[in-house]
Chains A and B, each alone.
Chain A
Amino acid sequence: MKLQPQSYLAEHTVRSWLLTHDHKRIGILYLLTIIVFFAIASVAAALMRIELVTPQGDLVTSETYNKLFTIHGVLMVWFFLIPSIPAVLGNFILPMMLGARDVAFPRLNLLSWYIFIAGGVLALWSLIHGGVDTGWTFYTPYSSTYSNSHVISMAAGVFVAGFSSIITGMNFMVTVHKMRAPGLRWFRLPLLVWSLYATSLIMVLATPVLAITLALMSVERVWGVGIFDPKIGGDPVLFQHLFWFYSHPAVYIMILPGMGVVSELITCFSRRRIFGYGYVAAASMAIAVLGFVVWGHHMFVAGQSVYSGMMFSILSYMVSIPSAIKVFNWTATLHKGSISFATPMLYALGFIGLFTIGGLTGLFLAALAVDVHVTDTYFVVAHFHYIMVGGMVMAFMGGLHYWWPKITGRMYPEFAGKLAAMITFIGFNLTFFPQFILGYLGMPRRYHAYPPEFQFFHILSTAGASILGVGYLLPFLYFLWSLKWGRVASGNPWEATGLEWQTPSPPPTHNFEKTPVVTREPYAYDAVTGKEEPQEGLMQQTSAV
């Protein structure tokens, strides 16, 4: 009998975790960290939803309410969504999908986690010392001049965390360029790799602009240098230009990796090759590039010139084309596939529906005239939650379930998984669909009190949020349960084609006993049987396991 190489989870000391260079362990460190931030940000959201049950502001003061939505936004955006798929699943899966032993710069990878922690500590410090009331957007001149809250330390937290995302992005790009297994040509890459590559491009090119913008805002706040405050010669709209130059592409940092995960899930659970591989891959790159030229759609009523507004409106419409290509191609992939409704697939199908609603309502908002009516209303809130929660979080949960056996070596309980996916879908829609109606009727965002005629929809939304909460709590519990009592997973429980499945679960420290040689396209599911097509060179490795 051949001795199995040690699993990456074999060592148990705290030291072995905190000083690890293993991309898989770093992915898990990120996972544990973002769960904490997700929990705090969720509590903030829950408090807001409870406040909004009654039209009067009776649970919290308006000032506390401002701090609640700020903490919710800052933590969810920068400390949960941005690192969720790239830093957790990407770190874990990307090198394995490439047939590599690790990312290109393993030490830098660990450093990025420590930088992330430093940013998170700054954010938590600001929270504990009284919070911030500017909203996650830090709009000037309020943030730079009038707010009495901990703006600088919070902005510093975001600034620092940004560097962890720059480092991760750079690391991924170099890894994709340099670490591909023999035979793994660019057009044989799984689509998650393409989307992570596109995401990395945005991380590297956009995040520095956010850093400098927050730095300029702090400079104005501390030294009174006139940059954004018109009273001292600045221009507040300039802040919005700079901020959204990062923050619109940041939406694609959140959604592109989700799209990549969905491509993996749809192909695996319908046993089909992806329809139009080249188009889906190119669409990721197109989104990454076009996503940079649409930011002005956040400023249609902010005093931006009408001509500029028209340009940004047209460009925003254009970015919907590659997104639509993806949706159509996933749908075409499902056509005549042998579809099974395992938990990850339920999340993926949920993603397609919710992302489509989120994307189409984005077109409403990109229309100049309609946007005047719905700017800063719950319509906007509903729209971006359909993208970020309905899209990104669904994809993240789908991916987490899909790779859970690879990560832990254990299966999650399938029935509970399906139940949680359904509960999440129902809870999500009940929470956010009423917000479209609320916003269209004129309910502005960021208010803790409102006219009584809006109460019905607010109650629906809060009821939905409590269901959604159950949908997130349930996986948390059964994932923990599965670590000890879950069925032991084989190397390839889904009979999927990716290289990450050609190694034991959990994988050995260096992923592959022997560097795999790739001789075929991704998603090589047989057109008739749906079975994985054999690949030479890999089979003897799997049979040796």
Chain B
Amino acid sequence: MTYSASTSDWAVEADGLVKTFGTNRAVDGIDLRVATGTVYGVLGPNGAGKTTTISMLATLLKPDAGSARIFGHDVQRESQVVRQLIGVTGQYASVDETLSATENLVLFSRLLGLSSSQAKVKAHDLLEEFHLTDAAKRPLKNFSGGMRRRLDLAASLIAQPPLIFLDEPTTGLDPRTRMQMWDTIRRLVSTGSTVLLTTQYLDEADQLADRIAVIDRGRVVAEGTSNELKASVGESSLELRLADNRDLDDVRVAIERVLGVDPTVSPEAGRITAPMNNPDRVTELLVTLREEGIHLAELSVAKPTLDEVFLTLTGRGVDDAETENTAELEGSRA
């Protein structure tokens, strides 16, 4: 049965995806829309359900409920078609450790239908493109994390798939290698690929993604462009530590009045965090505080981190989210 062109502008459409492991709802009703030709970032802490979501979209895992289509093709009914349209670079190396880089690329090329000589040319080109030529014959055991990731990505590009899944492509890489990976991803997009990547870093999603979905405990808690997302958290955030905790309430009221935003209060730490859309207003706030005779122990301005995005969206920090996930896991094992 052959499928001809369908007229879908969406590279990925997921509706109500659910995956349960035992009692743990790893993915709990996720909807996604990824437009063709864009980079889409799925941002979330460890255990949020990113890998599980990608696995379902990439036909590696069967959803318990919901459906997904890749360029209009259903991942379950037309899984073999979907596999012809995607490249998957997993969170953990998905290359054969016992083979050399060249042997890996030739193997995958052959499986994808290239002739023996075409496969060799392809392997050679990809190794050159990803600066791995010098290491082509060395066993993978001696590869650095960055080299392994590059080889992994190269292997995903053999068939020049129009959609590429990248699961945490830079986690564990040093800053320089990370920048190189970002460049590579940008280059991919410029050739017309659609990229869906997951990350734990807001700045990565910010740098690369046209749109971002923030996920937590298997749910999408926010979705939008990087700017929309940051606007909901504040361009930067203001953090105040008070000399006297009894002033917390007064400060909160002052922030609401002067900055017009809802601050997050951590009473134990005597700390108040507020999104700061307009840095000029901070001067006004400080003046107000002095007029009211409130003393500050510390003041800092920070770019929003994933932690703050989280705090704003869910009312809890990333650390809390991870602790909860661990607790759930331990609970299910007990």
Asked if A and B are interacting partners, one says no
User: Residues of B at under 8 Å CB distance from A?
Assistant: none
